[in-house]
């Protein structure tokens, strides 16, 4: 059965590569993935899945079921691109469409690798080898906000037994690191306009409030947990120096290892913003865009995935792939692997150096990173609090390629990315089959998850009634 699933992915690799390349070309931003989601839905419909589209108040969110009964295995797919990263599938910088988005996080591969797994599991259900329900989740806008949190709030994960996902990366490895919980919020200040030279005494500058808030926040940094993070950009600051700005806004991320720490910092930040309104005689409103948890993997799921990774093996890159990756390496920052070096225990350092000196990762990296925190955030974390979840990465990028880079856009649209994606599809498929064949594994995972969250249940970080932030999309 394991062989059959692997065979299915091999036999259908041209179809999967074609879908992935189309989504790579669409390169649609979060919440605007209309063509990408339509193509995935069409493929799932044609394969006989029952699709529910337009879910959880998002027109590009959907899920697709095949099979029936228990267990329900959910595989997560994403397909949003990043702004300004348009790039041809070439090993040097050459823009495909000026100013357009690009798949700098490889979510074209992510969505289609997961799709391939769901289709391969469907074949096993059809032949009567396994029983249960395989479900593909089409999750929009991973890069920008917590779409998965909305899907959870809608009850779409209530009957799920196991969830799994993967991500394109430099390496083939099991994800064991946690991620930072986050709130992303826009503070909007309202003042009173005036001629900045003619009657300044009548003006109350909203931009002053933004600047004073930022000063307060920067002083607050001194008194935060070392692992917490605070970043902001001014998204509106006025139009002309001779007009006192009546409207200004600043967009913040507040991150910390635990959800309650984010909430504490966020409360302090609101006080800083209130202080700024007092100083400037302005008013302030909060546009809460998103909140997410930290990731907590369930060990039983991680173990099943780890086993599947060893069964499938690493992607097999050829000479042309190596030449391409070596060429790309010339444009990369020298210290781009620094973060990984910090994860390597001393006894593995020699091996790590040998792996890191290669243009592409050709082996499965032994499990590393447990107990450490990746300083990014993802809405996969919310799923991990809701149901037992495991995640892994496969090598779809040249060694040393930074996250969200044009270099990743390049490899996501050619054979290096394709090979990593097909490897991921196989790993996900045989892991799902493992759970479908062994109800005791499902039960063990569920017990472990229940135990971890018994005093620490998932409470949606999204304030009641909050809608997905369509109003923030650029016109």
Interface contacts to Zn ion, rule CB under 5 A:
105
Shortest Å, Cβ 257 to Zn ion: 20
The least CB distance from residue 184 to Zn ion, in Å, is 16
Nearer of residues 122 and 167 to Zn ion, judged by Cβ? 167
DSSP string covering 91-153: SS---SSTT--B-TT-HHHHHHHHHHHHHHHHHHHHTTS--EEEEEEEE--TTTS-HHHHHHH
Residue (of 90, 453, 81) closest to 294 by Cα position: 453
CB of 172 to Zn ion, least distance (A): 16
C-beta of 246 vs 396, nearer to Zn ion: 396
Residue number with the smallest Cβ distance to Zn ion: 105
Q: How many whole angstroms separate alpha carbon 375 and alpha carbon 181?
A: 9
Nearer to Zn ion among residue 142 and residue 434 (C-beta): 142
Q: Is 354 in a helix, a strand, or coil?
A: helix
Pairing outcome for strands 283-292 and 389-395: unpaired
Alpha-carbon distance of 138 to 35, in angstroms, equals 13
Q: CB 68 → Zn ion: shortest distance, Å?
A: 32
Which lies closer to Zn ion via its Cβ, residue 282 or residue 405?
405
Nearest CB to Zn ion, comparing residues 21 and 142: 142
- Does residue 257 contact residue 373 with C-beta atoms inside 8 Å? yes
Nearer to Zn ion, 192 or 404 (CB): 404
Kind of pairing between the strands at 283-292 and 181-190:
antiparallel
Dihedral sign of CA atoms 353, 359, 363, 369 in order: positive
Query: Quick one: 105 or 422, whose CB is closer to Zn ion?
Result: 105
What span, in angstroms and rounded, lies between the C-alpha atoms of 122 and 67? 7
- In the complex, least distance from residue 389 CB atom to Zn ion, rounded to whole angstroms: 16
Residues 6+ apart with CB under 8 A from 453: 385
In whole angstroms, the minimum distance from the beta carbon of 107 to Zn ion comes to 6
DSSP at 401: P
**Residue 105 vs 164, nearer CB to Zn ion:** 105
* Closer to Zn ion by Cβ: residue 105 or 284: 105
Residue 102 CB, shortest distance to Zn ion, in Å, is 13
Decide whether 139 or 309 has the Cβ nearer to Zn ion: 139
> 72 - beta bridge partners?
133
What are the angstrom distances between the C-alpha of 447 and each of 153, 218, 299? 22, 43, 11
Minimum Å distance from CB 142 to Zn ion?
A: 6
How far is residue 187's CA from residue 145's CA, in Å, rounded to a whole number? 16
The C-alpha atoms of residue 422 and residue 399 are separated, in whole angstroms, by: 19
Query: b/e string for 30-52 if b means 16 or more Cβ within 10 A?
Result: bbbbebbbebbbebbeebebebe
In whole angstroms, the minimum distance from the beta carbon of 475 to Zn ion comes to 25
Q: How far is the CB of 27 from Zn ion (least distance, A)?
A: 14
């Amino acid at each position: 059965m394991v062989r059959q699933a692997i065979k299915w992915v091999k036999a259908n690799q041209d179809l999967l590569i074609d879908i992935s390349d189309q989504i790579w070309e669409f390169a649609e931003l979060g919440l605007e993935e209309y063509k990408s989601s339509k193509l995935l839905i069409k493929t799932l419909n044609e394969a006989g899945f029952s699709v529910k589209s337009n879910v959880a108040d998002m027109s590009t969110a959907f899920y697709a079921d095949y099979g029936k009964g228990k267990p329900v295995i959910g595989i997560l797919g994403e397909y949003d691109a990043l702004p300004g990263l348009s790039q041809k599938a070439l090993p040097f910088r050459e823009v495909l469409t000026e100013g357009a988005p690009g798949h700098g996080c490889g979510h074209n591969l992510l969505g289609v690798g997961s799709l391939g797994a769901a289709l391969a599991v469907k074949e096993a259900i059809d032949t009567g080898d396994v029983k249960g329900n395989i479900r593909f989740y089409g999750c929009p806008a991973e890069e920008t906000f917590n779409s998965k949190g909305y899907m959870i709030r809608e009850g779409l994960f209530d009957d799920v037994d196991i969830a799994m996902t993967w991500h394109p990366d430099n390496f083939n490895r099991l994800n064991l690191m946690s991620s930072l919980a986050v709130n992303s919020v826009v503070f909007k200040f309202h003042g009173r306009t005036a001629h900045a030279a003619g009657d300044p005494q009548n003006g109350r500058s909203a931009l002053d409030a933004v600047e004073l808030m930022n000063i307060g926040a920067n002083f607050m940094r001194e008194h935060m947990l070392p692992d917490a993070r605070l970043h902001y950009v001014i998204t509106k600051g006025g139009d002309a120096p001779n007009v006192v700005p009546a409207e200004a806004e600043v967009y913040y991320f507040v991150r910390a290892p635990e959800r309650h720490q984010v909430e504490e910092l966020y409360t302090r930040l609101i006080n800083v913003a209130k202080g700024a309104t007092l100083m400037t005689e302005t008013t302030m409103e909060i546009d809460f865009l998103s909140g997410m948890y930290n990731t907590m993997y369930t060990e039983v799921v991680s173990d099943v995935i780890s086993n599947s990774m060893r069964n499938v093996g690493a992607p097999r890159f050829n000479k042309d792939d190596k030449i391409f990756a070596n060429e790309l390496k010339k444009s990369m920052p020298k210290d781009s692997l620094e973060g990984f070096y910090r994860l390597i225990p001393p006894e593995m350092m020699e091996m790590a150096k040998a792996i890191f000196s290669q243009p592409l990762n050709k082996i499965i990296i032994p499990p590393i990173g447990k107990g450490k925190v990746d300083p990014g955030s993802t809405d996969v974390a919310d799923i991990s609090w809701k149901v037992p979840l495991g995640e892994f990465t496969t090598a779809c990028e040249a060694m040393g390629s930074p996250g969200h880079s044009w270099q990743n856009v390049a490899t996501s649209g050619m054979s290096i990315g394709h090979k990593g994606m097909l490897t991921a599809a196989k790993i996900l498929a045989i892991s799902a089959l493992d759970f479908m064949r062994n109800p005791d594994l499902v039960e063990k995972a569920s017990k472990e998850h229940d135990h971890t969250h018994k005093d620490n249940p998932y409470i949606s970080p999204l304030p009641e009634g909050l809608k997905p932030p369509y109003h923030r999309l650029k016109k």
